């Protein structure tokens, strides 16, 4: 958070939970904003005191977790998991975190050559429920 002081300077006040607080004063608001952005980027970049934990699970692994936590409560779970796994295979089983709408659009364009739009819309809804 940036605030203006009574003497015309600006103070950057960044709090990390309850324990840590970082404050620094600047002459201009622009300098304060640049410092705040740089500090937050460094905070997220994975320093030794804060390891960067990236989620490397693939789409099929995410489907398995979804099945275990939510899918088991559905009536037609076996068919739904089969459809989801086939969709993941058709997409090339990407890393779930890096999966984009553009990838699904390309998959959809190719899949429309073989099936009706309703089928792909169902696949899309099922995949959305996993996320």
Query: What is the share, in percent, of the chain residues with pLDDT greater than 70?
Result: 93
> What is the average per-residue pLDDT within 60-75?
89
11 and 69 together in one domain: no
Distant-in-sequence, close-in-space partners of 14: CB < 8 Å, separation ≥ 6: 1, 21, 22, 23, 36, 39, 40
pLDDT band, very low/low/confident/very high, at 28 (cuts 50, 70, 90): very high
Residue 49 lies in a domain: no
40 and 63 together in one domain: no
Residue 50 scores a pLDDT above 80 = no
| C-alpha 2, offset from chain centre | 27
Residue 79 lies in a domain: yes
pLDDT value for 119: 93
Residue 9 lies in a domain: yes
Residue 50 lies in a domain: no
32 and 88 together in one domain: no
16 and 39 together in one domain: yes
Residue 117 lies in domain = 59-130
34 and 81 together in one domain: no
Residue 51 scores a pLDDT above 60 = no
How far is 12 from 33, CA to CA, in rounded Å? 8
| Total domains present in the chain | 2
Helix (H, G, I), strand (E, B) or coil at 95: strand
């Amino acid at each position: 958070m940036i605030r203006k002081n009574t003497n015309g300077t600006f103070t950057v006040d960044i709090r990390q939970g309850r324990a840590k607080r970082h404050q620094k004063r600047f002459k201009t608001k622009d300098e304060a904003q640049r410092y705040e952005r740089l500090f937050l980027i460094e905070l997220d970049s994975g320093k030794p005191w804060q390891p960067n934990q990236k989620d490397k699970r693939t789409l099929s692994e995410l489907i398995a977790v979804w099945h275990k936590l939510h899918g088991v409560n559905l009536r037609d779970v076996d068919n739904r998991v089969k459809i989801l796994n086939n969709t993941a295979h058709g997409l090339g089983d990407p890393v779930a975190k890096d999966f984009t709408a553009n990838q699904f659009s390309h998959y959809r364009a190719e899949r429309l050559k073989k099936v009706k739009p309703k089928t792909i819309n169902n696949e899309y809804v099922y995949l959305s429920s996993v996320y």
